[in-house]
Structure 1
Amino acid sequence: MDLFSASAASLSSQPLSEILRPKNLDEIFGQEKTLGPQSKLGQMLRKGYLPSLIIWGPPGTGKTTFALALSQHFQAHFVNLNAVDSGAKALREVGEAGRDRRLQLQQKTVLFVDEIHRFNKAQQDVLLPFVEKGDLVLIGATTENPSYELNRALLSRCRVVVFERLSESDLQKIVARAEDHYKKPLANILSKEAIQNLLEYSDGDARRLINSLEILYNFTKDQEDGERLNRDDMRELLQQNPIGYDKSSEMHYDLISAFIKSIRGSDPDAAVYYLARMLDGGEDPIFIARRLIILASEDISNADPRAISVAVAGLQAVEAIGLPEGAITLAQVTTYLASCPKSNASYMALNKAKQLVEQTRTLPVPLHLRSAKTALAKDLGYGRDYDYPHSYPTGWVDQSYLPEEVKDAKLYEPTNRGFEKNIREYLNWMKNKKPEEK
């Protein structure tokens, strides 16, 4: 075998992800806003300055590829570690080797740490002196919010770079590169519908797309021209998995936040969309039902007093029947609450009351409101001069219930929305009526 044949054989044995991996910064797709020649970070890198970076983004957006391209661009020594497998001892050895390399060879060492959010505090602390002195240029990759997972000392020494999920046009560029490699258009092996489904299934993840393309091209390499896989064939071949979702990850918090805010914003379409996302990802339906009960009181309250009953009934139904049928109940509760008039007046009244209690502490209860259960209490005037509201025609009498020091406090202010408008009108009517006789 001659040198050319050996080189070609070596290339053919490589996985497609390595063959298509961008070799420099300009070949990286989808991150032009962050890394492009017009971006501040892109300009900084192209001018020869390489800071330590934390790359935060979804899987398959080019974080590892970016680190490799940086080390090649700066002719740096590249060390690749995974946070799951690397202890403090290994990190210290890499840091000391990086220091020797900087002092003896004047060469940078790029330390790429995948899943850096899995480092504990002690591991992060080991890196600090090496990063601070320039012995290591740290490139950390994470799918989790770095401000939640990394300590402040390490974050202060790094610049956080946000990578976005790839757009469909970015994914199509990757398809074009695969077509060039295999010397065959994707349309020759997949139907139009299957191609579109493949892009949707990839969900902005280049790695998932490339792995799928490798399977599809290898499976169909011996098929006749014109014989194409349809969508169902492709799904069966790829064993398409559910949407990526981790109940302990940031995605969990982002989706439940978007869900609640969509209901609060009276958008049933968005609310049921996020509900479907969570259920598809395996979220606990009881967790969702409980959040709906909180929302019914916090964001709807007396604007529709039925909301809390609907939400509680929804939780009971989900506990009784479980999934998948419980999803129907969750959809009913979600769309009802999203369509209700909204008010946070009772929630705000509670916050104002807490603040007033914090300021005034233990003010004495007015004598006429105190319990007069004992003879001594009656002798002290407890309960004296209390007017029983039901003794009056309207069921209301003008008397003070708050302690004297805060008797004019206004805590609950009903809105003009939904049933709360009736409450507001009734309270105003009572307060503006002339005192009535028993």
Structure 2
Amino acid sequence: HIEIDDDALDHLVNVANGDARAALNALELAVETTGPPASQSAGQSVNRSAIHITLEIAEESIQQRAVLYDKEGDYHFDTISAFIKSLRGSDPDAALYWMAKMVYAGESPRFIFRRMIIFAGEDIGMADPNAISVAMACAQAFEYVGLPEGRFHLAEAAIYLATAPKSNSTFAFFDALTHVKEEADSGVPNHLRDANRDKEGFGHGEGYLYPHAYRDHWVAQQYLPTSLQGKLFYQPSDQGYEARIRHDVARKREAQLAAMLAQEADSPGHDAAGVGIEVFTFSPDDPARERWLQRTVSNAGAHLGQLRDRVLDNARLSRHSLVLDLKAGSGLLTWEAVRRTPEGGVYALAHSSRDAEALRQMAAQLNELERPFVLEGTAAQLPELGARAADTLPQLPQQFDALVGHNALLEEPDKAAFVSMLNAHLLPAGRLSLAERIAKQNQRLYNLVDLAELDADLCSRIQQAEEAIYADDDDPLVNWDAPTLIAALEKEGLTVTHQIENDAQQVQITEALLARWFAPKGAAKPSYAQHLSAYLSPAEIDQVATLFKRQLLNKTIEWKAQTLYLQVENLR
């Protein structure tokens, strides 16, 4: 039984400041800090079986609580800080201790739950997406049962959060927010706009690829504005759930990046006609928009992802393999090789300083033991590259378990001799695995249009002019096909296996692409029109250009190509 004087009750009410739970907590403390009835003064006229709370007792109990915990002072903020840091440090014992300090001092459980809910998103995030659900469920359970049983839910939430894997990758949003604040509004890309409005007038939604219609419900498609192509905000950690998804996120990004970079005009994948699917020349006025448009409608990212997996599967890598990427470029093969050989070593040959620097910057995001060794040069320069990099790299191997490459042979005049040289850099039972685009089998432009409206003689000369492009015996891009290369390699005494794959990619025919095909003299490489000029008059070329524009402009076509997958095994 409890008796409380009126002035003591008024004091407790004033201290609680309108908070019923705080008033109850204050009353509980007053009772707990008051001795048994027998110890109270004999001169007092009170019920000896009751605990009597006087103003003096109430003031003393509140003073004790204030000494322990001052909500308006530093101790309040220091204690919640210690609690959060204990959660972040994955120390459940310390987290429970500091939370007990707060609860005992009368801190509102709602405040503690609010901080834990924030923590679940800020410090755990995608490492354990269930953390936010646990925190919310415990908070709701507390509201339902209240004190004192609700302390179980406080403890459950704190223990779960303290022991969960940690990641602060959700800060990626604030990087995006900074970009939004600083950039000029670039609008929403046309293919992402609402197709229900202005579709016919402005083409809203045109070109959008529905991911569910593709394998694995994903297609390489640009979702960022043009000005932010290739920008990365989200970096998955190596903790918990993110550890399971980070490789998949990286693989898709790498495939998209490779597809984007392969479209640049200075790419060595340029074929003799200047019309190769991997490369486009863009107008100087709006190069980024042109790259974005091709990347939007193309399935090149998915195609390159499949090519990457096939090349490395054919290389038969083990966890401890030594691997050399012969033409690293954006790192399409390099990064996957790193993932497949955690106990081995990966060396990446960059053929330009730009590629080398980009690879080094990307490698810096990995743990030091996981990073590939980036070298600038070609396979023919391996001995001197080893001497040049002696100060910065461990000894460069001169033989490897696997040599891999994508279009590593295209520009080599004597491909068989080059492969024979590469074979000398293979360890016994090592494998060379390549994917080479067979430019000789490239899509012919005259097959993209209906030539029936032209006279038969002109049609014949158009076809002759284009076929002549691929009949140049002095051009290493087109003076070979799969049978001739395989025969030359076998003549060198090499053990060769190969597969040929036909594929088709989606290409948007734009003003810029047509302008490149029919560019006058002066371009870095001869244009399609310049090749036609050996067989057609200027007036006839204009007639053909008009036909192409009328039939193809803004159309999406299938661009056919052929890829040779080549494996050479060192049996010596």
Structure-1-length-normalised TM-score? 0.43
Q: Say which structure is richer in strand.
A: 2
Q: Say which structure is richer in helix.
A: 1
Return the index of the structure with the highest Cα Rg: 2
